[in-house]
Copies of this chain bind each other. A is one copy, B any other.
Amino acid sequence: MSKQELPLINAAAVDPGACCAPLLCEPLGAAEAGELAPLFKAIGDPVRLRLLSLIACHEGGEACVCDLTSAFDLSAPTISHHLKVLKQAGLIDSERRGTRVYYWINPGVLARLSAILGSRQGAGMVSA
């Protein structure tokens, strides 16, 4: 049915020079998959996806926990838990400043994930 749409992607995948979407290029090894999957898993939760977005879009590229908590109907410990998951996955980083803790996005990781899913673009151009 939708097989007719595949050539477009595969054309990019076969491209020898700029080939950079492993997922569509060559079969992902078990090791690589074991490395990548936890990253996708981390953003595979609505709360964490929104947290990531809120942090990225917040003024100055960083947000304190109090800003984030107020955006959800969840308890503070729950938000804290999700932030921990994102941080352990390497998607965000944090720093305590006075009484507050600020979080910001680790932009390279997101770009890498995008490149892996995309057919080609976004690999080299975004990271730098």
Contacts and interface: CB of A to CB of B under 8 A. Distances in A.
User: In the assembly, how many copies of this chain are there?
Assistant: 2
B119 A57 contact: no
A25 interface: yes
A49 B3 CA distance: 20
A40 B50 contact: no
Given A43-B37, A49-B33, A93-B1, A6 B105 contact: yes
A92 to B, nearest CB: 10
A46 B28 CA distance: 9
A49 to B, nearest CB: 5
Interface residues of A, number: 67
A107 B107 CA distance: 25
A52 B24 CA distance: 8
Contacts of A70: none
Interface string A5-47: 1111110010000000011111111100110111111111111
Given A27-B54, A111-B117, A121-B122, 10 more contacts: A5-B108, A6-B107, A7-B61, A23-B49, A25-B57, A27-B53, A30-B50, A40-B40, A40-B43, A111-B119
